Amino acid sequence: MQNHVSVDEWVAMFREIGLDEQAMMKWHHVFELRHPQAHQNFLEWLGLAPERINEIRSNSK
């Protein structure tokens, strides 16, 4: 068993449960609104570059 889930694997799971791009953006928005530091930590855990994290968080507000 691996200790890390990649971004592609995470997106694949979201798609498998029926989330489209708009729903995933809404998920990020709610995460950012309710738990901004946890959202940051999650994006870092995924291994995203700081620039990509900033972009996602900016688009989530």
Record the pTM.
0.86
Q: Between 4 and 37, whose confidence is greater?
A: 37
C-beta separation of 48 from 10 below 8 A: no
Q: Where are the alpha helices (DSSP H) in 4-49?
A: 7-16, 21-34, 36-45
Cβ count within 10 A of residue 33: 11
State which amino acid sits at residue 41. Answer: N
Q: How confident is the model at residue 3 (pLDDT cuts 50, 70, 90)?
A: confident
Domain ranges of the chain: 20-59
At 6-32, the pLDDT tens digits run 999 999 999 999 999 999 999 999 999
* pLDDT surpasses 80 at 1: no
